[in-house]
Amino acid sequence: MSALRRYEILLPLRFNNGEPVPEELIGQTLLKLRQRFQGISSETQVIHGYWEHKGRLYRDELVRVFVDAEDTEENRRFFVRWKEELKIRFGQVEVWITAHPVERI
């Protein structure tokens, strides 16, 4: 059995200017992940975040997406590159992606 890593992505439901992110933009993002990794999970609850950057306070509404993938350097590089793409796509200063080892039972 190969080692797995869970990538958790917090996708914004609002742009930094407060305007709502169109549902189709979220949908396209989830579809890309599902096509690449054959499966994803997401939570339906809204996650509220508050953070500061260069003296400005940001208030986020986010959805958490989970992808369990083989723990390979190729997959890690995908998420590192994809994070930059997501920042542009969603007009964000930052997009939070974390990775954790997963033991499947």
How far is it, in rounded angstroms, from Cα 37 to Cα 41? 11
The widest CA-to-CA distance across the chain, in whole angstroms, is 47
Residue 79 above 80 pLDDT?
yes
The CA distances from residue 68 to 51, 55, 96, in Å, are: 27, 35, 16
Task: Provide the pLDDT confidence category of residue 50 given band limits of 50, 70 and 90.
Answer: confident
Q: What is the pTM of this model?
A: 0.88
Average pLDDT, integer, range 12-30: 92
Comparing CA positions, the residue from 46, 62, 49, 50 lying closest to residue 13 is: 62
How far is it, in rounded angstroms, from Cα 3 to Cα 12? 29
Task: Provide the pLDDT confidence category of residue 49 given band limits of 50, 70 and 90.
Answer: confident
- For helices 23-37 and 73-89, angle between their N-to-C axes, nearest 10 degrees: 170
Q: What pLDDT score was predicted for residue 1?
A: 57
How far is it, in rounded angstroms, from Cα 93 to Cα 5? 25
Q: What pLDDT score was predicted for residue 77?
A: 97
The domains of the chain, with CATH numbers, are 4-102 (3.30.70.120)
